[in-house]
Amino acid sequence: MEEEKKLPRNVFVLALIAFLFLFIYSVFFALPLTNTFFPEGLEITSYKILNDYYGRLLITREIKTKENGDWYYYIDVDTLHSGLIETSRIKNKTNIRPKSPLSEILAFQKERLTPYGNFSEKHSAASPKNIVLTSDLCPTSKEYDRLFYESIAEHQTNISLLVFFSGRWIARHPQYLKEIKEKGLALVAGNHTDHHIILTNRITKEDFISEITNTEKIMLENGILPSCFFRFPALVYKKEYMEALDQLNLIAVNANAWMGTKAKNWSVLLVHSNGCASSEVRVFKKFLDRAFEEKNQPDFVFQDIFAYFQNFLKESSSTN
């Protein structure tokens, strides 16, 4: 009787590796990407600004990669959430802008040429107050403030967070970024430009746009999904830069509350976490510990940035 032939062991190993690769690709790349962090960054070869629509998706960027396929970056015009979807899944785009929450928000911004979050928009008083928690990761060689993210992780069921990343911070601190990703926070990633240049006459509108798109690419290359929210370095802006944001379909979010100041309803609170304001973070830690003690009933509620704009639209419609 002939002895049964067996396939070499390395054939099974190669087959297993191929299966795992296809599985990972199907889970993380074949489907639309909507989580803030994803496991593998994109190796981008081409990046193009668009302004097309596909149903409720506003397609604002076309991304070509070396090995991960071609993607569209989109914003959901109803929810403001963003994501990536393979270009092959989108057919028959249009450039007709439908009326939507996003179009109203961008139109209001274009009319005023000033960022949101500076109380020029109306928010009624409420109890408890609603607060949007934000943080900036400006470029620095310093160690980031772990305490800030650890404090939020302790109370993460109560806290949503909007972090504005600068491109240079991401490039310099891959280990710190990895640590933040591993916290599992309810985090939305905003754009804080690449080099954090204070926007005076030293930078042209074209260079300003490059500062933003370069940061988007750095974020995607490091497994971060950008949102449609942007913050000016040092909160300094000019009208021509606000016009550029309209071209990029980005929403500018300022800040109007800091630790030690009295917050109003729908304040946008800024706590720097890049290591340059550690005393600010320590005050924030004590603030959280007191607020969430069992015996205390906080006079505020942390809301995410999406709820902020939902309320803005609600307040705007009630006054019209």
**For the residues of 195-242, what is the DSSP string, one character each?**
S----STTS-HHHHHHHHHHHHHHHHHTTB-EEEEE--GGG---HHHH
Whether residue 154 lies inside any domain: the answer is yes
Query: How many Å apart are CA 166 and CA 153, to the nearest integer?
Result: 22
> 106: domain range?
101-319
Whether residue 18 lies inside any domain: the answer is no
- Number of structural domains found in the chain: 1
Whether residue 64 lies inside any domain: the answer is no
Whether residue 76 lies inside any domain: the answer is no
Low pLDDT (below 70) residues in the chain: 1-32, 119-120, 200-201, 294-295, 319-320
Segment holding 313, helix H or strand E = helix 305-319
DSSP conformational letter for 132:
E
CATH number at residue 246: 3.20.20.370
Check if the beta carbon of residue 66 is closer than 8 Å to that of residue 46.
no
Query: How many Å apart are CA 161 and CA 275, to the nearest integer?
Result: 18
CA dihedral 44, 46, 52, 53 (to 10 degrees): -30
Whether residue 134 lies inside any domain: the answer is yes
pLDDT, tens digit, for every residue of 173-186? Answer: 999 999 999 999 99
Whether residue 32 lies inside any domain: the answer is no
Please state the φ and ψ torsions of residue 230, each to the nearest 5 degrees: -135, 145
Instruction: Return the axis-axis angle of helices 239-248 and 101-112, rounded to nearest 10°.
Output: 160
Position 15 scores a pLDDT of 54
Query: How many Å apart are CA 34 and CA 74, to the nearest integer?
Result: 10
DSSP conformational letter for 257:
B
Whether residue 2 lies inside any domain: the answer is no
Position 17 scores a pLDDT of 55
pTM for the model = 0.88
Position 23 scores a pLDDT of 43
Segment holding 188, helix H or strand E = strand 187-191
Position 320 scores a pLDDT of 61
Break the chain down into helix, strand, coil percent, rounded to 5. Answer: 40, 25, 40
pLDDT, tens digit, for every residue of 5-19? Answer: 454 556 555 555 544
Check if the beta carbon of residue 199 is closer than 8 Å to that of residue 238.
yes
Position 280 scores a pLDDT of 96
Position 7 scores a pLDDT of 47
Check if the beta carbon of residue 137 is closer than 8 Å to that of residue 166.
yes
Q: Where are the alpha helices (DSSP H) in 31-166?
A: 101-112, 146-154
Whether residue 242 lies inside any domain: the answer is yes
CA dihedral 63, 65, 68, 72 (to 10 degrees): 10
